[in-house]
Structure 1
Amino acid sequence: MQLPVEISYRGVEKSDQLEHLIRGKAARLDRFCDHISRCDIVVEHPNHAQHSGNPFRVRIDVTVPPGHELVADEKQERTKCTSP
């Protein structure tokens, strides 16, 4: 499946390496849900100073058709997709 992916950068310089990495990870989303119709990804550098850990924040907005549901739980590291 060729998933339409839109990537935006806020306070982060776009690079071919980063773009390739993000698109590769987004392509794997269909393993969890084959009903995804759109994927919008925002990579941003938070305004507050962070001296350790991941200095970036990534938001992923996934669109699925009505009647389908995609649930992702980062803390439990589980994702599921349901359809009626």
Structure 2
Amino acid sequence: MQRSLQIAFRGMDSSPALEALARERVRRLEGQFPRLTGCRVVIEAPHRGAEAAKTAIAVSVEADVPGRGPVIGKDEQERREAKNDHTAALNNAFEAVERQLGKIASLRNNPPAPHAAEGQSGVVVRLFPAEEYGFVEIDNAPELHFTRNAVVGGKFDELTTGMMVLVTVAATEGPMGPQAASVRLLDRSKAP
């Protein structure tokens, strides 16, 4: 990685065991996905009201990959006090990142064939809902800018970062560079 690993504990004491596990999981990520440029792990005990019997542990893992926004995995679980198991949330967050990185690697290594009527498959990499625009990434191309009006069926509010979409590239560039003429959500019933 180009930047060193960052591990932070919030609302709880640091744990050498959790830190060691996080470092091991990052080493495995680097082995599987050598293009990683950085990784941040936040382990915290979220604030709970007095009515909560058990405190929870929450983990957020953010991995940086060149040419796209951060890949994020999160999990939150109650602490298993009987077994003193604080690792489940950490492992689940890393597994979510691994799945997303696997999809990204698969798209890069086996790009889908473009279909003239539907456009190309892409991934939403950044969204700015308040400003009503975002960016989508398709293989072998710079990120494409799109606006709320380019989303077919008025489904802009259903978009999330990391979502697969069908993109038609516009013939001309817009004020923010290359742009998408249309962005269509994939049929979720056909998704893997």
TM-score calculated relative to the size of structure 1: 0.69
Larger radius of gyration: 2
Q: Secondary structure at the match of 1:56?
A: strand
What stretches of structure 1 move > 3 A for 4+ residues in a row? 67-74
- Letter of the aligned partner of 2:27 in structure 1? A
Task: Report what 1:33 is aligned to.
Answer: 33
**Contact 1:37 1:65 (C-alpha < 8 Å) held by counterparts:** yes
Cα 1:71–1:31, aligned 2, differ >3 Å: closer, same or farther? farther
In the alignment, what sits opposite 1:19? 19
By how many angstroms is 1:50 displaced?
Answer: 5.6
Deviation of 1:24 (Å): 0.8
Asked if the contact 1:5–1:38 (Cα under 8 Å) also holds between the matched residues in 2, the reply is yes
Name the stretch that deviates more: 61-70 or 32-41.
61-70
What is residue 51 of structure 1 aligned with on the other side?
A: 54
Change (3 A) 1:7 1:21: same
Gaps (5+ residues) in structure 2? 74-94, 109-139, 141-192
Structure 2 vs 1, CA of residues 70 and 45 (structure 1 numbering), >3 Å: closer, same or farther?
A: closer
Residue identity (%)? 28
Structure with the bigger RCO (C-alpha within 8 Å, sep 6+) is 1
Change (3 A) 1:20 1:69: closer
Name the one with the larger strand percent: 1
Q: Residue deviations 1:48-82, cap 9 Å, x none?
A: 23638xx21100111111169858684xx834133
Partners of 1:10 and 1:43 within 8 A in 2? yes
Aligned residues: 80
Q: CA RMSD in A?
A: 3.2
Residue by residue, what CA displacement relative to the aligned partner does 1:1-43 show, whole Å, maximum 9, x if unpaired?
Answer: 7872100110121132222111111111124422100001100
The answer to whether the Cα contact below 8 Å between 2:2 and 2:37 also exists between their aligned partners in 1 is no
